[in-house]
Amino acid sequence: MDFRRRRDGRRYRRLERAWDDSSTAIGTVPEHQRLRMPTALELDGSNAGGQFVRTALTLSVLENQPIRIEGVRGDRSTPGLRHQHLAVLETLAAICDADVSGAELGSDTVSFDPALEETPEATGWRGRGRGSLPGGEYDVDIGTAGSATLLFDALLPLATVLESELSVTVTGGTDVPFAPPLDYSRYVKLPLLRRYGLEADYEVERRGFVPDGGGRVTLTLAPSTLEPIELTERGPLEGVRIYSTESESLADRDVAHRQAEGALERLALEEAGIDLEERREVSAASPSPGSAIVIRVDHETGVAGFSALGERGKPAERVGEDAADAANRFLGVGSATGSADERGSQPQPSPVDRHMADQFLVFLALAGGRVRVPAVTDHVASSRRLLETFGAAMALEAVAGDATIRDSFGDESDAANGEPVV
């Protein structure tokens, strides 16, 4: 893994000092770290995956709370840290100048202490002062097609504790399996979070598909103060936007255009009573051939996104249809594939898509408020339990597979109206 802080060109070293390393001279540790000496929070990752690791590290920085994760990715066929998880760990360690042990491929135990200087005026969930995070400019090369967007997801909440602007350029996969495509992150997630005060932006140099990765994207974060999040009603639908991307090597096959055409033919826009507001087809520089499509549904209170990736041997039109099927299910229209319960005859009441649901919980814990999610998935349940471990308990009420989540400090409930509250 390659990390550089661009401001001075200094390569950040991997720290291997454990909590009880008596060989470390006290004079080498900053005074605020010597006075702090908090107890590490013990976390069990044996029944969880990479999201658990990423979220735990983010919460550790937000709360200035040392953690020790044992059984890292214990329920996966290849347990322990992989390249993409190590990239998150080392990036956060570099930004915080944290103390870290277990930062190596395959490691099943990780210790991480952000060791930030506490800011008494910013109180965390456990009543202790939160840390203040310095900004700066960093380069991160994941070294594989590991997901850049998942790394960015770990960084976005840190805008709430930044002292100054933070810029992180990542080389890796931008549109890869088991991760949000880049256009979902920048055209769905960021616009939604900006509504509540997050100041962030992406600059894209090139895309990265499997197997080579090699995409290059810069995330810029500014110090941000979040407003309470209220996302319990969808409101009137306002339109649909399509973002279809192909690598330049596939341009002669019109892959981006065919994906968009497949999506448009399958989308039941007339039945939903909405129009196509934007259609963007892009041929992007990339070391590997590949494609992706994202469909965004705009409504009065927010946006939702649905995506699909190109696959070898899969017609481009089918890729677009897959994304459209997911959008149709969200809208409750069309002849989307899936069970009768998934299709339904009415639009889902949730204003966010299934993938946004678990990603939103950290922001809900930071800002307060309520979010209705389409289902309490394993990821939602895991994120909620982890937040509670850090002291940010959430209230949850579920009805017929739908749920509304609120922060633990709220006392309002829609239970009287039969609405689920988390």
Residues annotated as part of the active site? 379
The C-alpha atoms of residue 331 and residue 395 are separated, in whole angstroms, by 27
CA dihedral 57, 76, 102, 211 (to 10 degrees): -90
Handedness of CA 370, 376, 381, 382 (dihedral sign): negative
Contact 46, 71 (CB under 8 A): yes
Angle among Cα 185, 299, 255 to the nearest 5 degrees reads: 50
CB 147 within 8 A of CB 209: no
Q: Are 295 and 242 in contact (CB under 8 A)?
A: yes
| 36 Cβ neighbours under 8 A, 6+ residues apart | 115, 118
A 10 A CB-CB count for 382 gives 18
CA angle, 317 as apex, 315 and 323 as ends, to 5°? 110
Q: What is the C-alpha separation between 367 and 228, in angstroms, rounded?
A: 5
Query: Read out DSSP for 187-223?
Result: IIIHHHHHTTT-EEEEEEEE--BTTTB-EEEEEEEE-
Helix (H, G, I), strand (E, B) or coil at 250: helix
How far is it, in rounded angstroms, from Cα 307 to Cα 302? Answer: 17
- Comparing C-alpha atoms, which of 142, 48, 38 is closest to residue 86? 142
Phi and psi at 43, nearest 5°, equal -125, 140
Cβ atoms of residues 159 and 224 within 8 Å: yes
